[in-house]
Amino acid sequence: MNLYEHTIIARQDASPTEIKQLTEKYSKIVEKNEGEIVKTENWGLLNLSYLIKKNKKGSYIHFKIKGKGNVIDELEKNEAIDKKLLRYMTVRVKKFDLEANYFTKKEQDEKKESYKN
């Protein structure tokens, strides 16, 4: 079994229910192809480095997936035709970092600094 980190960026005008539907849709595709979702993280609405299809922001959803290569092939085939998505990316990793929550930590640090000032 291979380990993958997979991130999708949905359009900025996607509602929270649409984000949830996208998460469920792609989770089902993974499970249908004998893969396993280890963890799902909703990173929220973040600024993009440059305009993508006239969008300045995007809603990021991050999956940690355990499975074979055909799982990723099937995911990316479906994502390529999905009009609600701006981009997607898959990275194969040797092991998952399940401890760190990169985007929540940053917000907590900013809150701590604002209390000091």
Asked whether the beta carbons of 57 and 12 are under 8 A apart, the reply is: yes
Encode pLDDT of 32-82 as tens digits: 998 899 889 888 889 999 998 888 999 999 999 998 888 989 998 999 998
Helices (H), 2-101: 16-32, 69-80
pLDDT at 59: 92
Please give the average per-residue pLDDT across 77-104, as a whole number.
85
Domain 2-116 CATH assignment equals 3.30.70.60: yes
Distance CA 44, CA 7 (A): 12
Where along the chain do its domains lie?
2-116
**Mean pLDDT over residues 83-98, rounded?**
88
Looking at every residue in the chain, the average pLDDT score rounds to: 85
